Amino acid sequence: AQTVTQSQPEMSVQEAETVTLSCTYDTSESNYYLFWYKQPPSRQMILVIRQEAYKQQNATENRFSVNFQKAAKSFSLKISDSQLGDTAMYFCAFRSNAGNMLTFGGGTRLMVKP
């Protein structure tokens, strides 16, 4: 079974600065998908960014980028130019290529301070 670990329960960052959230996972598969989801106080889970394991190039979506290290089974999220609206819980998630469900990490609560 796959496991996903987020070692930082809480983080804070000053507005306009950069922050990196860590995620590691354990799998014996070679083809899979990784995701970062954001959950603001409204509870709505919103996809931030996704990465296919077979792609070597790190995914980027505007201010959000990932550092995907397949051999190390690491998938960190970098948020540049942090904004107050980035305050939320962030979940790293894994999905097997053959599976359907998402396996989530325990989450990191990010607070962006003005």
The residue from 2, 13, 22, 50 that contacts another protein (CB under 8 A) is 50
The answer to the question of residue 16 lying near another protein (CB under 8 A) is no
The answer to the question of residue 52 lying near another protein (CB under 8 A) is yes
The answer to the question of residue 107 lying near another protein (CB under 8 A) is yes
The answer to the question of residue 94 lying near another protein (CB under 8 A) is no
Give the binding-site size for another protein (rule: CB under 8 A).
19
Residue type, 44: Q
With CA atoms as reference, report the closest residue to 111 among 21, 50, 25: 21
Among positions 29-48, residues that touch another protein (CB under 8 A) are: 33, 37, 42-47
**Residues that bind another protein in the complex, under the rule CB under 8 A:** 33, 37, 42-47, 50, 52, 91, 100-107
